[in-house]
């Protein structure tokens, strides 16, 4: 059955921890993942680059101003004196108010992109950790970076699911935040002639994407070009967001039933680069 539906299945957070990386590459090799986003400041960056050079998966840069250590050193308003970012919640307050050194933040993000390019990777998109480019203080910088580095595609963090089915807070509050800003981001990317998918599936399933949930999601896909954001992995003891939920997600993405559902619904798996070429 042909549905004229293209789906980019993008695994975020590559290069952060060994178990997470193993799980991501397993879903590329054995599952439906077609695209990955790589941290430039992650602890396993070098190892992830070596693996990527043996793969034909689409690669983007997962730009980050909220976790880990800045590559360029301390940034006023965004890091402590040692250059450690403030974490998700504190960073979002700063993004919302604009109380940070915008020039230094831009230099940090350019350094992150350049690190991937210097490693010999070809980038087909950029996206941002925890969707920071939704904030109006950072959206213009995202457009500028795409232009400077001639990267023609970016994520559009516009939740594709019905808003009436949003989960309870705090995740439901996040989804409302994303919808509040997403239209402005879409206008900015259109004006800059950047490619974006029509929206982003999977956001309400954060930490609870299993085989049954993924099959239900696949059955809901409509014509268009969409992104499914996923976070597979093996477990990394002692590292936040690297628990058993990552393994369940990995198992869902490599399940034979999921591959069969993709084929049954006539969905074409693609990447940012491939979708951009036919848009």
CATH number at residue 178: 3.20.20.370
SS3 77: coil
Residue from 95, 39, 97, 93 nearest 68 by CA: 39
The pLDDT tens digits of the residues spanning 170-190 come to 999 999 999 999 999 999 999
Residue 3 in this model has a pLDDT that exceeds 70: no
- Sequence-ordered alpha helix ranges (H) in the chain: 18-30, 45-52, 88-97, 102-118, 139-148, 171-191, 211-220, 244-253, 256-264, 272-278
User: 9 pLDDT exceeds 90?
Assistant: yes
pLDDT of 241 higher than 80: no
262: tokens are 């993709």
3-state class (DSSP) for residue 274: helix
pLDDT in tens, 137-154: 999 999 999 999 999 999
Tokens of 146: 């795409």
> Does 244 score more than 90 pLDDT?
no
HSE-up of residue 173 (Cα within 13 Å, Cβ side): 3
pLDDT score recorded for residue 276: 84
Average pLDDT over residues 12-36: 96
Average pLDDT over residues 104-115: 98
What percentage of the chain has pLDDT greater than the value 90?
91
pLDDT per residue over 26-68, tens digit each? 999 999 999 999 999 999 999 999 999 999 999 999 999 999 9
Instruction: Share the mean pLDDT of the chain.
Output: 94
Dihedral sign for Cα atoms in the order 96, 97, 103, 105: negative
Total domain count, the chain: 1
- This prediction has a pTM of 0.95
| Residue 208, domain extent | 5-278
pLDDT band at 240 (very low <50, low <70, confident <90, very high): low
User: Residue 238: pLDDT band by 50, 70, 90 thresholds?
Assistant: low
């Amino acid at each position: 059955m042909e549905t004229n539906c293209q789906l980019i299945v993008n695994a975020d957070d590559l290069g952060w921890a060994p178990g997470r990386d193993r799980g991501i590459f397993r879903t590329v090799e054995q599952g439906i993942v077609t695209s990955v986003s790589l941290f430039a400041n992650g602890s396993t960056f070098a190892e992830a680059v070596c693996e990527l050079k043996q793969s034909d998966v689409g690669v983007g840069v997962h730009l980050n101003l909220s976790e880990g250590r800045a590559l360029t050193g301390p940034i006023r308003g965004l890091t402590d004196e040692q250059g450690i970012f403030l974490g998700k919640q504190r960073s979002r307050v700063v993004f919302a108010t604009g109380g940070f050194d915008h020039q230094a933040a831009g230099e940090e993000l350019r350094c992150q992109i350049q690190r991937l390019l210097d490693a010999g990777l070809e980038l087909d998109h950029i996206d941002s950790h925890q969707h920071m480019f939704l904030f109006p203080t950072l959206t213009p910088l995202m457009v500028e970076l795409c232009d400077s580095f001639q990267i023609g595609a970016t994520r559009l963090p516009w939740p594709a699911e019905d808003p009436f089915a949003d989960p309870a807070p705090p995740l439901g509050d996040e989804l409302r935040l994303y919808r509040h800003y997403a239209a402005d981001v879409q206008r900015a990317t259109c004006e800059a002639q950047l490619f974006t998918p029509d929206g982003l599936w999977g956001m309400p399933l954060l930490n609870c994407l299993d085989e049954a949930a993924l099959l239900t999601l696949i059955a809901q896909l409509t014509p268009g070009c969409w992104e499914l954001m996923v976070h597979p992995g093996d477990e990394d003891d002692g590292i936040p967001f690297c628990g058993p939920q990552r393994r369940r997600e990995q198992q869902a993405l490599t399940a034979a039933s999921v591959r069969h559902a993709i084929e049954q619904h006539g969905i074409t798996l693609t990447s940012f680069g491939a979708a951009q070429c036919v848009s």
